[in-house]
Structure formats: C-alpha cells, structure tokens
Amino acid sequence: MKKICHMSSAHHGLDIRIFRKECVSLAAAGFDTHLVINAAAADVSEAAGYGVTLHPLTYVPESRRFSRMSVHAWRCYSAAKKLDADIYHFHDPELMPYGLMLARAGKQVIFDAHEDLPGEIHSKDWVPLPARWILASAARWLQNFGVARLAAVVAATPFIGSLFDGIAKRVVVINNFPLIGELSPQSEDETNPRDSVCYVGGIDEIRGIREVVQAIGRTQSRLLLAGKFAKDAVRNEVMRYVGWSRVKEYGFVDRQKISEIMARSFSGLVTLHHVPNFVNSQPIKMFEYMSAGVPVIASNFPLWREVIEGNECGICVDQNDPEAIAAAIRHFHERPEEVARMGKNGRLAVESKYRWDCEEKKLVALYRDLLGY
C-alpha cells in the first residue's frame, strides 16, 4: 500500500477540504493516508475512524503569524519527512521551501492552491498598503518558481488553476464542492419554520459583516451568525449597530449545528466585498447553502451570478449596499413559495453537478497516475 502524506501548518482540526474531503477520499481509495496538521487528541481518534493517521501539531494562534510561518512550518515538515511517504501534498504557501526539499529528495510533491496568493495579499490590512504590490509580486514569483519544480498543482477553482497554466508541470482543478447529504435540507414534515437568515463562516470587514448587520436591522427577520470574528474591534463595532438586536451569535460551531442553523433559514448570506481573492472564488458556503436547500443572497460578481442566477437559486445584490441586502431578505421573507422553489433548485444543482464525489475521482486519478498505477 502506497503511503501518502498531507501537510498543513496553517489549518487546524479536521479541516473540511483537507481532511473530510481529500484525505478521507484517498483513504477510501486504498492509500495509506497520513495528515500532519494542528490538532487535538480527539481529532486523532476521529480521523482513525476514517482510516486516516493524524499526526498532531500544537496549534499556533494567528496572532503569532511569524512563528507559524517559520518555526511551526519547520516542525510540520520535520514530522512529515519522518513518514517517508511516496507522495507529499501540502496546503500552505509557507511550506513551499519544504516541498522543494522533498522534491529534491526524490518524492512526488503536490501543492494544493486554495487561494490566489497574490490577490489575497492585496486584501491583508496587516500589510502596509504601499508594500502590498511589492509583496504580492514577490509572492507570485516565488510561488511560480516553486510549482515549476513540483509534480503537480491541485487548484481549488478553475481561476486559480489558470494562474499556473504554462508554469506547473501539471494542473488539476479539484473544486471544493459539498459532500452530498452532509447538510441535508429540511424535511417536508418539519414543524420548525424557516424564520431567519444565516451567515456561516469567517467574519470580518471584507466578508461584509458591517453591511449585513446594518441590513438585518432594516428587516423583521433574525440573523443566525455562525463563525469566529477575526478581530475583536470589528465585533465590538457591529455590536453597537441597531441591527445587532436581531442577531443570534453562535460563534464557531460543528457541522451538525451548521445543519440545524441552515434548516431554520429561508436564505443564506455570502455578500463578500469586491477584493481580488473573492471575485473569482467559489465560496464553499454558497454551495453548502444550496446543498441544504437554502436560497442564496450573494455579491453581484459575474462568476457568482452565473451559478446563482443560472440555477435560479438565489439573488445577487450590491454587497456594499445594506439596503439592497435588506430588500433581498425582505423579498424572501415575504415569499415562502419562492424560497421553496429556489431552495429545491439549488439542491438539485448541487446533486447534479456541484458535488464532491465528482472531484474525488479526479484526485484519486491524479494520485494513481503519479504512482504509476
């Protein structure tokens, strides 16, 4: 049995893409699958139940960014190297030097590009504005230098994949689509009404939290907010808005709770700001809302309009306009028949084309090809 190892110094726990999708799929396909990641003891036990051997690192908080990108990345590499795997698959740009070291040692190495790294740098407020162009350009050059020397790049979206065309030896787009059945829609005989809207995911300014809280204050609905605020200052600010009285804050929750929240929602919000790393992204929360039968209210980006309006499963709005978001919320609140119709359309779209098991086949095929069988 061929041994494979996934590595991440930045992600933690049983990450949805890294563990629940990629690692679990590869273990089910018969690979001896290992994962080096920030994790707790309980995660090790749960991973074993799926046939994945987890090697836990001690999580480094985001506030210790430099330590994570230097010392912690070295620890991640050191733990992975000891496994002497046939394929190494790493998920963070900061691990690129170690990926190159493994490649030079004769290993097959894959870089999983979750995001457009240069585009992401442009949205980082901790990087001084004058330095963003310089840092983004340097990051692009270094990333391209690295991927040209690896066996393959796995890209989370077609746009990200296109960034490596002509540079990487091989590019395979593995879309981050939902696991079918994980977030089941509300059953037809469910007595609890869909009486709220929801937002699930990381919370900060560029993900539209200010506009969303302002918007909910202009409606008669509630906002079910599940996720972690990136900054206490932003949370303290929006808590002073009138709309906060209509917010039910859950903090970080597990997948079961997310399913329950979506089952109580007549719409899901994904009104992210117009920044380079979002415009061409395929946010997993959008597809998860669809999978759960929840109509989507989303930013008016061309790629998102293609999915949402093309499948008649939601409304695209001006993400910078709280009144436009509020109008969409009121629209769905007043039209339960349309909620049911669009929710069904979204669910059928996921079941027919936006589903993980189709992506799983491409991932397994890549591994088998690299290993020669």
- pLDDT (tens digit per residue) in 289-331: 999 999 999 999 999 999 999 999 999 999 999 999 999 999 9
Average pLDDT, the chain: 93
Domain spanning 3-177+355-371: CATH superfamily: Glycogen Phosphorylase B; (3.40.50.2000)
- Look at residue 186 and tell me whether its pLDDT is greater than 60: no
CATH ID of 196-352, from 2.40.50.100, 3.40.50.1370, 3.30.1360.120, 3.40.50.2000: 3.40.50.2000
pLDDT band at 189 (very low <50, low <70, confident <90, very high): very low
Helix (H, G, I), strand (E, B) or coil at 350: helix
- Look at residue 100 and tell me whether its pLDDT is greater than 80: yes
pLDDT of residue 112: 98
Task: Name the packing angle between helices 96-104 and 129-147 (round to 10°).
Answer: 20
**Which runs of consecutive H residues, i.e. helices, occur in the chain?**
24-28, 41-49, 65-67, 73-81, 96-104, 117-121, 129-147, 158-162, 209-216, 232-238, 255-263, 276-279, 284-291, 302-308, 322-333, 336-352, 356-371
Q: Are both 3-177+355-371 and 196-352 of the same fold?
A: yes
**Whole-number Å distance between alpha carbons of 226 and 181:** 20
pLDDT of residue 280: 87
Could you tell me the two tokens for 148? 């040209």
pLDDT above 70 coverage of the chain, percent: 93
For 121-146, what is the mean pLDDT? 82
DSSP code for 199: E
- Spans of all domains in the chain: 3-177+355-371, 196-352
Can you give the pTM of this predicted structure?
A: 0.89
H or E element, residue 29: none
CA 154 to chain centre: 14
pLDDT band at 181 (very low <50, low <70, confident <90, very high): confident
**Whole-number Å distance between alpha carbons of 107 and 103:** 5
> Starting from the edge strand earliest in sequence, which strands make up the sheet with 152-155, in order?
52-57, 32-38, 3-12, 87-90, 108-113, 152-155, 171-173
Q: With beta carbons less than 8 A apart as the criterion, state whether 270 and 283 touch.
A: yes
- Look at residue 24 and tell me whether its pLDDT is greater than 60: yes
For the stretch 190-225, pLDDT in tens is 556 789 999 999 999 999 999 999 999 999 999 999
**Whole-number Å distance between alpha carbons of 132 and 69:** 18
Q: With beta carbons less than 8 A apart as the criterion, state whether 366 and 155 touch.
A: no
For 34-62, what is the mean pLDDT? 91
- Look at residue 187 and tell me whether its pLDDT is greater than 60: no
